Amino acid sequence: MSKEDGFSFCFDKSVCKICKGKCCIGEGYVFLTDEDIEGISNFLSLKKEEFLKLYTRKVNGKTTLIDLAVKNEIRCVFLDDNYRCEIYTKRPKQCRDFPFWESLKNKSFDEVKKLCPGIAPCS
Ligand code: SF4
């Protein structure tokens, strides 16, 4: 069980195996750091420019992964048919940090639980 100071919840990572990528589906942005871009490009054996062209777009000047419409769902481009992340070992910082985002710090336990079935009380 993961826990971070200042958050009203803990996170049970084992639930990721059965949740079918809830945090990777739906409207939203996965913003990339320079380190993310470097790491994912290398992982995919692509030049940085190629990776940026194929898999990203700009939103308000920031680089984000593109989405795909699959089976009536909007999904992250790297979520595969089995709801697994194709770049898991090099997934962006934003994904690694979830659900401990600053934007979720002041949310109630119930609000965050709606976003992720792995949210659990801290015992
Ligand atoms: S990069 Fe991987 S973990 Fe992040 S949203 Fe996409 S599929 Fe999910």
Alpha-carbon torsion 31, 12, 123, 116, what sign? Answer: positive
Q: What is the mean pLDDT of the chain?
A: 94
Q: Lowest-pLDDT range, 35-39, 43-47, 71-75, 100-104? A: 71-75
Q: How many whole angstroms from 91 Cα to the centroid of ligand 1? A: 6
Residue owning the nearest CA to atom 8 of ligand 1: 24
Task: Please report whether residue 6 resides in a domain.
Answer: no
With respect to residue 40, please indicate whether it lies within any of the assigned structural domains: yes
Question: What is the rounded distance in angstroms from the CA atom of residue 36 to the CA atom of residue 44?
Answer: 12
For residue 102, what are the domain limits?
A: 25-112
- Local confidence band at 54 (pLDDT 50, 70, 90 cut-offs): very high
| pLDDT, average across residues 6-12 | 92
How buried is residue 55: exposed, middle or buried, by Cβ count under 10 Å (0-12/13-18/19+)?
Answer: buried
**Is 3 within the bounds of a domain?**
no
In this prediction, residues 98-107 reach a mean pLDDT of 93
Residue 95: inside a domain, yes or no? Answer: yes
Q: Please indicate, yes or no, if residue 99 is contained in any of the structural domains.
A: yes
Can you tell me the distance from the alpha carbon of 119 to that of 112, in angstroms, rounded to the nearest whole number?
A: 7
Total structural domains in the chain?
Answer: 1
